[in-house]
Amino acid sequence: MSTVATNPEPSRFERIWNSNMAYSFRRNPVAVVSLAIFLAIAIMSLLAPVIAPFDPYDPAQIDIMNSEYPPVWVDGSEPEFILGTDDQGRDLWSTILYGTRLSLLIGLCAVGLQAFLGISIGLIAGYIGGRLDSLLMRLADIQLSFSTLMVAIIFLAVTQAMFGSETFNQYAVFFLIAVIGVAEWPQYARTVRATVLAEKKKEYVDSARVLGFGPLRIMVRHILPNSLSPIFVISTVQVANAIISEASLSFLGLGMPPSQPSLGSLISSGFDYIFSGSWWITAIPGVVLVVLVLVINLLGDWMRDVLNPKLYKG
């Protein structure tokens, strides 16, 4: 009572600023730096068409004669190409900017799709329960045990074989988003379902039912808002995973084509030249990829520590 009565009504901003989350964020330099780096990468890649000195998608700007120039701090470089050029003579800096944009786009969209599918299925399975629940969760178990990457590889391999690489390359972005989005729904569904089951047992849900509210209202207005912390935590991890998945698939040649490279396909094309000493084609996009994924994971870790949700295990 005394805690409630003494201080005056705080404003919305004060509430947020003084909240546990904001407080721990301010106190955690790793989280602050990670967010800063993430925002920097995101903004730069978003502004790629403005920042990049070359357009890697424009064949007119690419000269094969410029291939494999090292970065400027290495002997034999061309000052025009800050980070050097790749095997096709594209400016690495520009290509990385565009590639990061693609990787981020695919990662975020795929996670959006996962979240949509997983949250809907998880809510329904958890709230309705019974046979539908056990069927859906059994499916989720099976799909998870096959691992995303396996499902994605097989799906993309078959698609590529069916449509031929021409058509496949044209729509690769959509295929990647779809397959990473669909293959990972169990992660969300199981987490959401576990939270829903835990929340459903709480008496505020019973109270809502006794007041006569319909299932949709209870799910969306009451249960979902209380299931958000695990969703937030899992979302950051999922974005990181999706970016890695995309990179891995592209590395295997089942993702973005070399003509429209994401970070993964850039690394892949550079791998062939690593023995001849052109390490930068692989190394620089590799570092960008790792840093990007790392800062997202660090943010996810921080969020997990703060929100401390009971995540679904196993």
Partner 1 sequence: MSLLSVRDLTVKFAMRDQTVTALDQISFDLGKGERLGIVGESGAGKSITGFALMNLLSRPGFIDSGSINFEGREIAGLSDKEMRPIRGNRMAMIFQDPMVTLNPVLTIGQQMVETLQAHRKLSKADAEQISIMKLREVYIPSPEDRLGQYPHELSGGMRQRIVIAMALLLEPELIIADEPTTALDVTIQADIMELLLELCTSNMVGLILITHDLGVVSQMTERTLVMYAGRIIEAGKTREIINDPQHPYTQGLINALPQQTLPGQRLKQIPGNMPGLTAIPDGCPFAPRCQYAIDNCRRTRPETVSYANVEVACHEVNRLHNTVLEDQSA
Partner 2 sequence: MLAYLVKRLFQAIAVMLAISFIGFAIQDNLGDPLRELVGQSVSEETRQQLRDELGLNDSFLTQYVRFLGNAVQGDLGTSYFFKEPALDVIMKKLPATLELVLGATLIIVGLSVPLGVYTAIKPNSIPSKIIMGASIVGISIPVFLTAILMIYVFSVELHWLPSYGRGDVVHVFGYWDTNFANVDGWAHILLPSIALASIMLPLFVRLIRAEMMEVLQSEYVKYAKAKGIHPGRIYFVHALKNTLLPVITVGGVQIGTMVAYTILTETVFQWPGMGFMFLEAVNRVDTPLIVAYLIVVGFIFVVTNTIVDLIYGLVNPTVNLARMGA
Partner 3 sequence: MKDIVNETAQDTILELKNLEKRFELDKGFLEKLRFKNGKFTTEERAVHAVNNVSLEVKRGEALCVVGESGCGKSTVARLVAGLLDPSGGEIHYDGTRIDNKSRRELMSMRKKMQMIFQNPYASLNPRMTIQQALEEPVRYHNPGMSRSDVRAKVAEVMQSVGVDPTWASRYPHEFSGGQRQRIAIARALTVDPEFIIADEPISALDVSIQAQVLNLMLEAKDERGLTYLFITHDLSVVQHFGTRVVVLYLGSVCELSDTATLFNNPKHPYTKALLSAVPQLKDDKPNHIRLKGEIPTPINLPTGCPFASRCASADNRCLSEKPRPLAQPDGAMVACHAVEEGRQTG
Size of the site for partner 2 (CB under 8 A): 42
The interface partner of residue 191, options being partner 1, partner 3, partner 2, none and the CB cut-off 5 to 8 Å by kind, is none
Identified binder of partner 3 from the candidate list 11, 203, 276, 314, rule CB under 8 A:
203
**Shorter beta-carbon distance to partner 3: residue 164 or 214:** 214
Identified binder of partner 2 from the candidate list 22, 158, 216, 220, rule CB under 8 A:
158
Size of the site for partner 3 (CB under 8 A): 23
* Residue 8 engages partner 1 in binding (rule: CB under 8 A): no
Q: Which of residues 15-34 bind partner 1 (CB under 8 A)?
A: 23
Nearest Cα residue to 183 out of 156, 148, 155? 148
The interface partner of residue 23, options being partner 1, partner 3, partner 2, none and the CB cut-off 5 to 8 Å by kind, is partner 1
Contact yes or no for 244/100 (Cβ under 8 A): no
Query: What DSSP string describes the chain?
Result: -HHHHHSPPPPHHHHHHHSHHHHHHHH-HHHHHHHHHHHHHHHHHHTHHHH-SS-TT-GGG--GGGTTPPPTTSTT--TT-TT-B-TTS-BHHHHHHHHHHHHHHHHHHHHHHHHHHHHHHHHHHHHH-HHHHHHHHHHHHHHHHH-HHHHHHHHHHHHHHHHHHHHHHHTHHHHHHHHHHHHTHHHHHHHHHHHHHHHHHSHHHHHHHHTT--HHHIIIIIIHHHTHHHHHHHHHHHHHHHHHHHHHHHHTTSSS-TTS--HHHHHHHHHTTTTTT-THHHHHHHHHHHHHHHHHHHHHHHHHHHH-------
CA atoms of 172 and 119, how far apart (whole Å):
26
* Residue 7 engages partner 1 in binding (rule: CB under 8 A): no
Q: How far is the CB of 286 from partner 2 (least distance, A)?
A: 5
The interface partner of residue 257, options being partner 2, partner 1, partner 3, none and the CB cut-off 5 to 8 Å by kind, is none
Q: How far is the CB of 213 from partner 3 (least distance, A)?
A: 6
**Shorter beta-carbon distance to partner 1: residue 26 or 138:** 26
Site string for partner 2, 23-52 (x = CB under 8 A): ------------------------------
**Dihedral over Cα of 203, 207, 212, 214: its sign:** negative
Contacting range for partner 1; rule: CB under 8 A; set: 2-10, 72-80, 136-144, 274-282: 2-10
Q: How far is the CB of 19 from partner 1 (least distance, A)?
A: 12
In the complex, which residues of this chain contact partner 2 (CB under 8 A)?
Answer: 138, 142, 144-150, 153-154, 157-158, 160-162, 240, 244, 247-248, 251-254, 264, 267-268, 271, 274-275, 279, 282, 286, 289-290, 293-294, 297-298, 301, 313-314
* Site residues for partner 3 per CB under 8 A: 1, 3-4, 9, 130-131, 134, 202-204, 206-214, 221-222, 225-226
Judged by the rule CB under 8 A, the positions of this chain that interact with partner 1 are 1-3, 6, 23
